[in-house]
């Protein structure tokens, strides 16, 4: 019952433009406290929703699990792959990894087979 009363009061109370006495000041403070509580409840609700659905929202945005969105222009990977700077960075990183792997493999083969003396 108290909650319903607060909801009714929230919608009937309007922002006081000019505060002339203690009564209007008290009403404005009360209105602001109700507004702060309402905002806090909304934030809590939104945070709970985010915590419950974070992983699935992330997966859906990265991998576009919706069949309708797979061919769409707003797909994450489709947009990322269009950028030349991103592609250049990926190619550079892949090249560096391949070079290091090749050097490591060459070093391993050298140690494994050993040097033959003639």
What pLDDT, in 10s, does the model give residues 63-72? Answer: 766 555 555 5
pLDDT above 90 coverage of the chain, percent: 32
Tell me which residue of 34, 29, 33, 5 sits closest to 19, measured CA to CA: 29
| pLDDT tens column, 24-54 | 999 999 999 999 999 999 999 999 999 998 8
Q: Could you tell me the residue ranges of all domains in the chain?
A: 2-73, 83-118
Tell me which residue of 6, 36, 32 sits closest to 19, measured CA to CA: 32
Average pLDDT, the chain: 79
Is 28 in contact with 36 (CB distance < 8 Å)?
Answer: no
Tell me which residue of 7, 32, 28 sits closest to 17, measured CA to CA: 28
pTM of the model: 0.41
Average pLDDT over residues 95-105: 91
pLDDT value of position 66:
56
């Amino acid at each position: 019952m108290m909650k319903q009363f607060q909801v009714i009061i929230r919608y009937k109370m309007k922002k006081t433009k000019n505060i002339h006495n203690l009564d209007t000041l008290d009403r404005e403070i009360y209105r602001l406290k109700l507004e702060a509580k309402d905002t806090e409840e909304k934030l809590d609700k939104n945070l709970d929703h985010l915590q419950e659905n974070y992983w699935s929202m992330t997966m859906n945005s990265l991998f576009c699990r919706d069949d309708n969105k797979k061919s769409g222009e707003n797909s994450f990977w489709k947009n990322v792959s269009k950028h030349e700077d991103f592609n250049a960075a990926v190619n550079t990183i892949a090249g560096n990894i391949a070079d290091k792997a090749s050097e490591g493999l060459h070093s391993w083969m050298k140690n494994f087979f050993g040097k033959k003396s003639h």
